[in-house]
Structure 1
Amino acid sequence: ELGLPLEVAVLGVLESGYDARAMSHKGAGGVWQIMPGTAGHYKLRITDKLDERKDLVKSTRAALLFLRELSKQFNGDWDLVLAAYNGGPNYLRKMLDQHKKKTFWEVSQVPGFKSETLEFVPRFHALLHIMKNPGEYLFKIPEMEQAEVFDVVRFSENISFDLLSKYAGIPLEMMEELNPHLKENEALAQVNFYLPKKFGNLVLKKIRKYYAKLRLEKYRKKTLRVVRYRVRKNDTLLGISKKFNVPRGRIKRYNRLRSAHYLRIGQILKIPIYRSVKSRGRVAKKYRRALSRKGAYRVKTGDTLSRIALRHGTTVARLKKVNRLKSSFVKAGVLLTIPSTAKFQPYRVARGDTLTGLARMFGVSVRAIMRANKLRSRHELAAGKTLLIPDQGS
């Protein structure tokens, strides 16, 4: 792609033995032993958590771009290119101009020439000769397929290796081996993260599922309260969402409904009301209006739960349960839901109904339904039969 000879691959062996974690005493790092200044020029980031000189893909491209630039500077003389890669292009150009030399072999004889660079070019040629003629030196270089051996993924936020190992089932050692550029065992947002081939999509799917669950939990914690609403005849999800001024999709997600078009009469929906409802008068008005269908009461100065319960023909225990109160203390101005005084409501059994399903639907126990209808067995249900469903808490 960049028009460089294949032999430059030997440079990685000479520099580091293809060890991505290699660091020199002068501060060069990665397979290609790139110095911090060169890394910045080729947009390789070095931070407290990241060193992209150790990212095999990015650092390889940066090294090849650097070699191509050196090839242009030194007119394709690869001995000079290699010397410049090791000793620095500015140093080599200065030595050539100052001593009026044209080739590496001439300038290397100048007294005071860097000893490391003096040895670097001959060592490269020696290693290249060995790798081209391994049989002469009694060893064999295994053939390698030119195929992608890993997937590259990017996450939208930082994720620890421990979390990836737990929820995506990736061995910790594998992640550390493939991602030496990540210093703190943490995949960083919008930074290349390497996985074995065919693992990428699987991991992304599992992590999305994990974060979806996390967002749902966070979302639930933000709610002011969760109102229980019993579906009535002719109700639609859109209509219910308008009553409570809560987006239809939010109600659907919160109740894990597969379809927005299928609601059953008597079905209990949980309506999440956000804290922001308090600060918007128009929304709060709709909220109060919706609650008034079941009965609502705004606490006044001097009120107690006992007085409110007595006034509305209910009990303190039921008031606390319906309003999810942890104590019997209640502040003036708070809007309380008053539970219905009806003890039972009729329900016509549909085909496929079970007592367990009805109990879950209406939020009561199976035993309470059986006791109210004098049923001896859980199996005494017939389609079309009318059952009396006891009110919650009765």
Structure 2
Amino acid sequence: MKLRTALLATLILSGCQNLSHQDDRALTASEPIKSPQVSKKLHKKHASRFLFNDDQLDESTDTGNLWVRISDDMQLDFPDNQRIRQQRATILRSDNHLATIASRAEPYLYLIVEEIERRGLPMELVTIPMIESMFDPHARSRSNAVGLWQFVPQTGRNFGLRHDSWYDGRRDVLASTNAALDYFEYLNRFFDGDWLQTIAAYNAGEGRVRNAILRNQKRGRPTDYWSLDLPRETRMYVPKVLAMADVLSNPEKYNVTLPTLANEPKLRVVNTEGQIDLHVAAQLAGLRPADLKEVNPALSRWTTSPRGPYRLLVPVEYADSLELALADLPKRERIPTRSYRVVSGDTLSRIAMQNGVSVNQLKVANNLRGNTLRRGQTLAIPSDGKPVAAAPAVRQPQSKPTRIAATTGSKRHYKVRSGDTLWNISRAHGVTHGELAKWNGLNAKSALKPGMQLVIWPKSAASRDKSMVYQVRRGDSLSSIAARFQVAVVDVMRWNQLDKSGYIKPGQELTLFVNNNS
């Protein structure tokens, strides 16, 4: 499998096209064998934070820069040979692709680093999504490999990644990362702890690598990775991974500036306890539906799958609001419904087919135990997960400035600073990553440089709502004020430039933008 991008020029991103031909050997639970390439550095072990709680979010870490943490946890020793030097030169030839990777990786990288550390695996594995997909969860190859880790359908299914019309586990950052690391652990046991052979097999399939080892054994030749007769793509693949790891570990040595990424989670898992419409969830959290869908790329519709998983990744600053609101939300209000009056000849299966939902969804929505219907009965038809025409999340940003100005606030200019990414700029100004890119003629592969001027059309609360000043009273909290005026806590903090502590005191004046109908 090859995934070509203009930014990487001759750096061919290759991956798992042959994973579907994997060996039938059972996945054993035996302990992995110590690899001969693993250095003797001491490596910190961290508990998994895929499912965060408040105590874990409050824990401090040793370094504030995620790249430093990644560098400190690199484990593999390797020769600086010509094959690695060639791939490193290709990586360094482009000034933009590392910055592009960093921008795309920012929401997810911390989660992946945590899981690699929890399993005690070499941190070099964090470069695999960089090589495979440039950290684009929507990436798809010509061989139908999908997601950050580029799973083909069969291998995805072998490692528990479901794919249907609602949900694609290959694009689920958490599920696909677990599946990929499971696969790496299996391969590492298969190759007796040799990590270079393991990484080669991730690209070519274990059968090809095993056969290359057997051929060398018969000829009395060495069987280390560098001595194997493998396809050209695989001969380049391992050096790419090692070269990328070397650059990330030694940016000063290679005169590379990596945008600073905070060593803290950007996203948090919120358990929804059932199916939910993204527009409903976004409204509860206080963010735009498009923002919520953007960080949940596994969802193929605007509703989570009725089969689960019943969780959403949510920007950490909105997670508490969503969890609190979900606790009080009746199940019947999680999925928008419409009414249908049963006529003579109707059956559940016919009604379900006509409305693009399953019979089981109809039964759940209407508390039905059997299939019997009566004429004149009113049924609630749940949403089929298709975009709602009036929802702002599915509107495309207008290409002409005059049209944009008509639907948003006044145009602003922003000067890019060192460490900025499209992700953090868009979050700070309440717009989506895609909108910011379109307004400035950028695409997903574009990198930012300090001093660059960006145009931003912020969503103007004043254009939709009325402005008011509220004086804080004794006993008030941000949540009680937000609930009283039906606004989001995060918006109150943003409008008044409050810090993360959200501290307010009696007599303090807060600016609020409240609905004109309230």
TM-score where L is the length of structure 1: 0.49
More helix by share: 1
- Of the two structures, which has the highest relative contact order with CA contacts closer than 8 Å and spacing of 6 or more? 2
